[in-house]
Structure 1
Amino acid sequence: MALELRKLTTTVDEIFTEGGREVTPPKRVVVVAAVIRNPWAGQGFVEDLAPGIDATASDLGALLAPRVMEALGGPLEAFGKAAIVGTDGEIEHGSALIHTLKFGNHFRDAANASTLLPAVEKRGVSGAPFDMPLKHFTDATIRSHHQTVECRVADAPHADEIVIALGGTASGRPQERLASFNAAEK
């Protein structure tokens, strides 16, 4: 059971204005998604997911993390992950691949990050949109970096596939101006 990759997509959004004001420097948000064959597809209920995790998760992290960093073109400040499982799979199949250090440590190491990656997992048909949460890479309580990026891969996942994605940005929300958590509690 090895990683079976059908395609990779990279989306780069650059935001130049927000709220009628210029964003300087422009905010860049990157999402890189891999469309893979579900390693448990066609097997019915699989009790032990560990062999599929071992055969797939680390390779996915090693594939996606450097591509996000390269497309970002600068230091990362916020990140997230996603797993969208085709209709013949279980949400647990996607969770198994992204909720393991074998996957996430590739991104944390590439970005010098220390927090857990926020995630979204769901089942969906080809082209299903998903909202990937992003949080600060070293301190998940930094409010300015709590944000969401909407994503989709037009022709994925097929019923027997999973879309696995990593996303990142080099800044918080454009024009953020909320008080820090401690200041807001006073």
Structure 2
Amino acid sequence: MSITVRKIVRHREESMREFGQPLERPHVVAAVLAVIDNPYPREYVEDLVTLADELGEEIGQLVGPACVELLGEDVEAFGKVALVGTAGELEQGSALIHNLRFGNVFRDAAGGTELLPAAEKVGLAGAPIDVPLKHKTNAKTRSHHQTVTLVVPDAPREREIVVGCVAANTGRPLARLATFGAEVGQA
């Protein structure tokens, strides 16, 4: 089996100022999303893993390296997303993105070692989804904990899933929190 892609959405934004302050360098976020036909049947099936194993690398290759390329510089923070149309099940989107055959493609392209933080939900076409990002090699790096909101105005349709990868070149603009554990003396 192979995936059926309706469209690919690429989003890239560069922020030069935050809260009235200039940034030392632009904060860049890139996202590549694939709008695919839901490969699972309409009725309940027990085994979601076999199909996710079969399709994971193909989907990962479609969005992971493209996200890194769109960012155009070294990835410091990353995350992944699945938004399932209303005639699908949350677990179907989860199966596709919580699969090492999917995640390892993006992790390798980004030079990461940490687990990819994720967001998944069922929603109507145009539903926003908030994607958490964390540092690619140290998830405890607080400066890189950030959330990106994504919207594809006409997706997912009822029998589609939006699957994607998100990357940032830095942590949050103007990050200035103490290191992880500092507030309880565990730095």
Q: Report if TM-score (shorter chain) is over 0.5.
A: yes
Map of 1:69 onto structure 2: 68
Please give the secondary structure, in 2, of the residue aligned with 1:59. helix
The alpha-carbon deviation at position 61 of structure 1 amounts to 0.4
Q: Is the partner of 1:181 in helix, strand or coil?
A: coil
Partner Cα distance (1:115, 1:174) in 2: 22
The answer to whether the 8 Å contact 2:53/2:99 transfers is no
User: Unaligned regions of 5+ residues in structure 1, if any?
Assistant: none
Residue number in structure 2 paired with 1:36: 36
What's 2:168 paired with? Answer: 169
Q: The residue matched to 2:68 in structure 1 has which SS?
A: helix
Unaligned 5+ residue runs, structure 2?
A: none
CA RMSD across the alignment? 1.0
1: CA distance between counterparts of 2:103 and 2:61? 9
Which residue in the other structure is 1:132 paired with? 131
Moved over 4 A (4+): none
Q: How does 1:1-186 map to 2 (within 5 A)?
A: 1-42=1-42, 44-186=43-185
SS of the residue aligned with 1:26? strand
What is the aligned-residue identity percentage? 49
Q: TM-score, normalised by structure 1?
A: 0.96
Aligned residue-pair number: 185
Letter in 2 for 1:86: G
Deviation at 1:139, TM superposition (A): 0.5
Alignment CA distance shift 1:160-1:41 (3 Å): farther
SS of aligned partner of 2:64: helix
Deviation at 1:41, TM superposition (A): 3.5
* Structure 1 contact 15–28 (Cα < 8 Å) conserved: yes
Q: Structure 1: how far apart are the matches of 2:178 and 2:50? A: 46
